[in-house]
Structure 1
Amino acid sequence: MDFTAVDKPSSRASYVVKPDKTALGGSVIFRPAAVSGLAEGYPVPVG
């Protein structure tokens, strides 16, 4: 995550987790972090 640029989001990637009662914290990563095509091309409104 990068919080240095005020005109850009800190991150566009997200991951999917699933519940797992045996895992520490109760969930495990189901899909690794990825950026969707919509998120990549989204113009961030500034101002």
Structure 2
Amino acid sequence: MQRYVTKKLEEKTTTRKHLDKLTIIGNDKTEHYFFDRDLVGMMDGGQPKN
């Protein structure tokens, strides 16, 4: 049960970080491209590029 709770908290933290980044980016199309690229990289098991 503890593993489940820990995983959910990690997901919530990650989601909050993504939402915060989108808030900062606003309507900047170039930054949306980089944000999307980072998300795809994370889905492939990699780390986002800075």
Query: Which category of TM-score, normalised to the shorter sequence, fits these structures?
Result: under 0.3
What is the TM-score with the length of structure 2 in the denominator?
0.24
**Higher RCO, Cα 8 Å, sep 6+:** 1
What is the TM-score with the length of structure 1 in the denominator?
0.24
